[in-house]
């Protein structure tokens, strides 16, 4: 199936740990994104990345870092996890033109205890 897939779907971990969330898209899209969705369903862009440029939302702590081994993958690494990092994280991809929407993964629910 063509899609944006992210793993794991659920992640429970202790404060201070380092964790990664993986994302892969087989849609041939040029740009990938990470969003954070809080408990009130508000979506916040964290990163956007294509082959040429990484754009970081300046409000994102530097404990968060995207890693892109190739055009089809954009992984999210989080160091020194904090309680406030608990949220649902969505990966998305797009073709990059305005007529086209984003395609989202199904989300990773991160719980920091």
Partner 1 sequence: GDSVTQMEGPVTLSEEAFLTINCTYTATGYPSLFWYVQYPGEGLQLLLKATKADDKGSNKGFEATYRKETTSFHLEKGSVQVSDSAVYFCALNTGNQFYFGTGTSLTVIP
Dihedrals φ, ψ of 32, to 5°?
-125, 160
Min separation Cβ 55 and partner 1, Å: 9
Per CB under 8 A, which region of 22-30, 38-46, 59-67, 73-81 contacts partner 1? 38-46
Collect all residues with Cβ–Cβ distance below 8 Å to 21 and sequence separation of at least 6: 6, 7, 8, 11, 75, 76, 78, 89, 91, 108, 110
Q: Is 86 in the site for partner 1 (CB under 8 A)?
A: no
Does 60 participate in binding partner 1 (rule CB under 8 A)? no
Beta bridge partners of 75: 67
Is residue 7 a contact residue for partner 1 (CB under 8 A)?
no
Task: Confirm or reject binding of residue 107 to partner 1 (CB under 8 A).
Answer: yes
Task: Between 64 and 90, name the residue whose CB sits nearer to partner 1.
Answer: 90
Of 45, 56, 60, 72, the one binding partner 1 (CB under 8 A) is 45
| Other CB atoms within 10 Å distance of the CB of residue 2 | 8
């Amino acid at each position: 199936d063509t899609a944006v897939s992210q793993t794991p779907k659920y992640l429970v971990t202790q404060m201070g740990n380092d964790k990664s969330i993986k994302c892969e898209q087989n849609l041939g899209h040029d740009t990938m994104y990470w969003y954070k969705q809080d408990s009130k369903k508000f979506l916040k862009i964290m990163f956007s990345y294509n082959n040429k440029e990484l754009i970081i939302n300046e409000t994102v702590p530097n404990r968060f870092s995207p890693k892109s081994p190739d055009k089809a993958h954009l992984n999210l690494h989080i160091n020194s996890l904090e309680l406030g990092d608990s949220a649902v994280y969505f990966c998305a991809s797009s073709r990059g033109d305005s007529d086209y929407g984003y395609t989202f993964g199904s989300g990773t629910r991160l719980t920091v205890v």
